[in-house]
Homo-oligomer: A and B are copies of this chain.
Amino acid sequence: MARPRSEDKRTAILEAATKIVAMLGVSAPTAKIAKGAGVAEGTLFIYFANKDELLNQLYLELKLELRDAMMPGYPAGEGPIDRSRHVWDRYIGWSSAHPLKRRAMRQLAVSDRITEKTKRLVGDAFGEVNDTMRECAAGGVLRHRPPSFVSAMMTAIADTTMDFVAREPAQAKRTTKAAFDAFWKAVAG
């Protein structure tokens, strides 16, 4: 297990892992992931000590990417509903644009292979998002709950929304609109 040399290969492995985990779950064979990345089976273990480390890294990177997609352009000067809407739209937008990433993230989230440490790192990374959520929820029934609860609520509502959008794409606009209204009432109403 020597020191890895190519950042490209690491990225290729993580991208292949996204696809394969999305499709086959966390029990996806490392050999398939390596093949998808265009590297040899053994090479994977140069970049990741073992499969668990790969899965944890993947989860972390996906979550960080999602976070990075949510904040830019945040309308700090606007009212809470606009700020909330911004976060919501970004979340829905990123998830719709990257269905495999979303599916992989979910598979990882329910698996027992994501360590507490990884979960903590993810929590830390979402500090800014949570702050935003706190502001949005400042006047609502959840104002005394931890901000991560509000974030989780948004994620839960948005994920459910996307499941239905996937089932009935024709209603996408209306479903998303209604779901945001519901979410807004939930946190701020």
> Which of A62-70, A128-136, A157-165 contacts the other chain?
A157-165
A175 with B145: CB separation less than 8 A? yes
The CA-CA distance from A23 to B42 in the complex, in Å, is: 26
Q: Is there a chain B Cβ closer than 8 Å to A5's Cβ?
A: no
Please give the count of copies of this chain that the complex contains.
4
User: How extensive is the interface on chain A, given as a class?
Assistant: 35 or more
The CA-CA distance from A185 to B111 in the complex, in Å, is: 32
Residues on the B chain within 8 Å of A144, using CB: 174, 178
Q: DSSP class of A's interface residues: helix, strand, loop or mixed?
A: helix
B152 with A182: CB separation less than 8 A? no
B145 with A152: CB separation less than 8 A? no
Q: Is there a chain B Cβ closer than 8 Å to A156's Cβ?
A: yes
The CA-CA distance from A140 to B166 in the complex, in Å, is: 23
Q: Is there a chain B Cβ closer than 8 Å to A31's Cβ?
A: no
What are the interface flags for A76-100 relative to B under an 8 Å C-beta threshold, 1 for contact and 0 otherwise?
0000000000000000000000000
B24 with A112: CB separation less than 8 A? yes
What are the interface flags for A157-189 relative to B under an 8 Å C-beta threshold, 1 for contact and 0 otherwise?
101100110000000001100110111011101
Q: Is there a chain B Cβ closer than 8 Å to A106's Cβ?
A: yes
4 nearest interchain CB pairs?
A: A186-B186, A185-B189, A156-B156, A141-B181
List 8 additional A-B contacts (Cβ < 8 Å) besides A142-B178, A157-B157.
Answer: A2-B40, A2-B42, A23-B112, A141-B182, A141-B185, A142-B179, A144-B174, A149-B160
